[in-house]
Amino acid sequence: MPELPEVETVRRGLAEHVVGRTVTRAAFFGARVTRRHPPGPEDLAAQLAGARVAAAERRGKYLWLVMEPGRGDQPDRAPAAFALIVHLGMSGQLLVEPPDAPVEAHLRAAFDLAGDAPGPGPGGGSGGGPGWVGTQLRFVDQRTFGGMALADLVPAPGRPGGVPQTITHIAPDPLESAYDQRAVVAAMKRRQSAVKRALLDQSLVSGIGNIYADEALWAAKVHGERPCAALSRPALARVLTAAREVMERALEAGGTSFDALYVNVNGASGYFDRSLHAYGQVGRPCARCGAPIRREAFMNRSSYSCPRCQPRPRLAGRV
């Protein structure tokens, strides 16, 4: 499940293999992948055709490519850059492949790319590389919770290139300069909800999903059902710091696993198997105290925690 570290790994792959190239043709398959782009897939394809990928950006779990339109009718006046937003949902992958690679079962979009990418990627020079005639960027998404859309870029603090207008409700994530942990702690203090719900609220702090929420709460020794307001500011800060640290470590573990041909979210995190202390570890001993990790229902899914290190709040829920 792509959360911040996995999405950042994909962004880095895009920066290396796609930025600098021009989209010569775009195609979309199925209606759901463009459901967040109201004008529809034909409009999306038309606007991308001829545009150059100027940058690959990320905030939380959202990716976007900064696109510079091709100069059509007005060669003396450069049209404004815009964003191609990509959300991977739960099962989305971005793949960089030769155009004649076999079509994946859940291929949702394909972009033909022209030009060389800068840096030591494929096609980056005469030596090395597979020597493709062309390159395709493909979006494959089994469950199609992800999608693509266009948006204008609007100014945002700490983001020189701006952020897409349609995702300005997404808060800065813990790894960007605009992130202000003291402000997040203050906002959490005012929340009338459990701390895990707050961690998952992307308008408060972005990038954290179910996995890293459980890991952060385990590291901070806090049960996710504890009300935000019942936690001290230092305790809230410890939870947020733990979230940042666990995601930084996951990024280190996952950041090296894609090769030159492949920008793959599923392969991005070897972190899952080796370093999880709570998520999915039901019955296994807590790494701190040895008590078996428990699983509890939470919002139609699951939460994992240590029953000894993370005791449930005494008043779990009010009526």
Pick the closer one to DNA by CB: 104 or 116.
104
Pick the closer one to DNA by CB: 25 or 106.
106
Task: Report, in Å, the least distance between residue 279 CB and DNA.
Answer: 7
Quick check: 23 and 112 in contact, CB under 8 A?
Answer: yes
Quick check: 308 and 286 in contact, CB under 8 A?
Answer: yes
Task: Report, in Å, the least distance between residue 127 CB and DNA.
Answer: 38
Name the active-site residue from 77, 190, 301, 318.
Answer: 301
Sheet strands (E) in the chain: 22-28, 52-59, 62-68, 82-87, 92-97, 107-114, 135-141, 147-156, 159-164, 294-298, 301-305
Quick check: 121 and 42 in contact, CB under 8 A?
Answer: no
Quick check: 99 and 135 in contact, CB under 8 A?
Answer: yes
Pick the closer one to DNA by CB: 54 or 235.
235
Task: Report, in Å, the least distance between residue 223 CB and DNA.
Answer: 15
Quick check: 57 and 63 in contact, CB under 8 A?
Answer: yes
Name the active-site residue from 3, 8, 16, 57.
Answer: 3
* 97 in active site: no
Interface residues with DNA (CB under 7 A) are: 1-3, 32, 36, 60-62, 87, 89-91, 105-106, 142-145, 167, 169, 190-194, 197, 200, 202, 209-211, 279, 299-302
Q: What is the CA radius of gyration of the chain?
A: 21
* 301 in active site: yes
Quick check: 250 and 271 in contact, CB under 8 A?
Answer: yes
Name the active-site residue from 59, 61, 196, 294.
Answer: 61
How are strands ordered across the β-sheet holding 92-97? Answer: 92-97, 135-141, 107-114, 22-28, 52-59, 62-68, 82-87, 147-156, 159-164
Pick the closer one to DNA by CB: 22 or 279.
279
Task: Report, in Å, the least distance between residue 49 CB and DNA.
Answer: 26
Task: Report, in Å, the least distance between residue 277 CB and DNA.
Answer: 15
Pick the closer one to DNA by CB: 49 or 90.
90
Count other Cβ atoms within 10 Å, centred on residue 68.
17
> Could you give the residue numbers annotated as active site?
2-3, 61, 301
